[in-house]
Amino acid sequence: MEVNQLIFLVKKKIEKNILAQNVIIKDKTYLHKKHLTHQEDKFHLELIIKSKELSKYNKLQATKKIYKILREELKKYIHSIKILIN
């Protein structure tokens, strides 16, 4: 899967499952290209989510909710994910 397709898919899944006012997803794979564990078919993403729903949870609960939504993508296409919740 190409990174822009993945970003589109992740954004749609989050917007479908979480009441979010804004979702920004950035590809940060370029920061990890020279790492020994880097895989060409896996990506590093940064999610910035503004959500009143998620802000009601503690960080661990919100992260678990996002991981559950993105279970398949995390297995197949995402090596690392950074989540920022506003």
Confidence band (pLDDT; 50, 70, 90) for 64? very high
Arithmetic mean of pLDDT, 9-25: 97
- Report the distance separating Cα 82 and Cα 77, nearest Å: 14
Question: Is domain 3-85 given the CATH code 3.30.300.90 in the classification?
Answer: yes
Side chain identity at 81, as an amino acid letter?
Answer: I
Radius of gyration of the chain (CA): 13
Q: Give the per-residue pLDDT at 40.
A: 66
Residue 60 makes CB contacts below 8 A (sequence gap 6+) with: none
Residue 76 is encoded by which pair of tokens?
Answer: 């197949």
Neighbours of 7 (CB within 10 A): 17
Max distance between CA atoms of the chain, in angstroms, equals 38
Res. 29: pLDDT tops 80: yes
> Where in the chain are the domains?
3-85
Q: Give the per-residue pLDDT at 41.
A: 72
Give me the percent of the chain exceeding a pLDDT of 70.
Answer: 88
